[in-house]
Amino acid sequence: MASWVRTRSLFSRRASHYAAPPSTSPSRFYAAAEAAFARSSSSLAKKAKAGSPLEQAPPTAAISEDEDVPTSGISRPLSEILKELNKKIPESLVSTRLEGDAALKYVPWHFLNRILNVHAPEWSGEIRNIVYSADGGSVTVVYRITLYGTDAEIYREASGTADAAHNTSYGVQKAEAMAFRRACARLGLGLHLYYEDAS
């Protein structure tokens, strides 16, 4: 598992750039973001149950959706960000897929993207590598997520592999979505689902 942490000044350019307006209470601003996320999550969950496509590749930038979700507007210490990401994800956002005889729970990537936007507004994501098997039957994508706090930065990388024999483009998208979810789990976001599947 790839990981990296770098400390930085509390008064760095990034932290000052995202500072909350002087007239805004950070706790009140963050509470508003939480409430907006709860409303949007409920709406997205209904769309998911209606059969909207879930397996698409996450872009490296923020996702544009019908309803804008305000972020906390400020940077926070990395420990606080990780504490929020390690909270259990509501069951309404969890989907199930079959792999052989096993039913596995997972959270669609666009829900995870929205949670990151709320709790870690300065996060970034990027594809680090795409590797095809020798016979071209499968493709593996390596994805990195980086979190930025006022005191440190940290990243986690993960890989995802999908079938690419019949549709190469879809195979890459599916592998990327898988790698994105796993990278989130390595930061604590949705990690509890892996424990539940193993039990």
Tens place of pLDDT per residue across the chain (199 aa): 555 555 443 333 333 333 333 344 444 444 555 555 555 555 555 544 554 443 444 444 444 444 444 444 467 899 999 999 999 999 889 988 887 778 888 899 999 999 999 999 989 999 999 999 999 899 999 999 999 999 999 999 999 999 998 888 899 999 999 999 999 999 999 999 887 655 5
Segments forming the whole domain that contains residue 177 = 3-198
pTM equals 0.63
Spatial distance between the Cα atoms of 110 and 104, rounded to a whole number of angstroms? 18
What total of structural domains would you count in the chain?
1
Residues 89 and 41 sit within 8 Å (Cβ to Cβ): no
Q: Is 30 exposed, middle or buried (0-12, 13-18, 19+ CB in 10 A)?
A: buried
Spatial distance between the Cα atoms of 35 and 27, rounded to a whole number of angstroms? 12
CATH code of residue 193: 3.30.390.80
Nearest CA-CA partner of 96 in 199, 6, 197, 172: 197
Residue 101 is predicted with a pLDDT of: 78
